[in-house]
Structure 1
């Protein structure tokens, strides 16, 4: 096994018999503006003279926001906004990057959500849960254990 270091990544060459695919494992910090698969980590695979980065598999047991009355998993911003609308929330201002919701009754609560639902994180989930305790909960997506409700 040979280790090479560059300014961009640390490479570890794994030797295999000639008939098998040679792969290179890379560990590289996430950088803003990098093209490709996000953080740049994964396994480089050489096959038929072509090098490709296979991204790391996501961790099992990711958190999910559930709507308690129906047990439905919130999978899109539109679905979540519709469910929150049924509980008195409406859009506050139009913003290019985020969606802000406030209560129709004039309360001071404000929920900020990313417009791109792939950027929806546990902090957003807990914000929704804290302001709608009886209607939403956070669960592990592969199990049934409730993390917070």
Structure 2
């Protein structure tokens, strides 16, 4: 499946990375390019401030987990090729609960219906010492992260 990614290098690096893994997904009834725009507006910017015209590598945001930075942006193409657009970001300044993490959001076109897109949000993380002690080695943290990600994805449906 890596061959279908527009940004194969970052997708492959993410798939090869270690860490606790959390995944959330939603099938939206819009083409991949629109799903990408909605994710950027409603998940990255949380719908709270006007986003720039284009999200780019190096952009940062503050979250409960710490400071996140965009590593790479490969927006989906509207050419019907079936290629997978993706967005990659990582934690550059940790919060209380997470030592490090990286994330990849994939915009997978439905080959049988180009008006549908599967948005798949994957995170790989290492819990902080505090999290290991308080959150059962990261188990509770995984559950909370997945719930948060799933709730964010509901905003783009």
More helix per residue: 2
Whether TM-score is above 0.5 comes out as: no
The structure whose RCO (Cα within 8 Å, separation 6+) is larger is: 2
TM-score (norm 2): 0.29
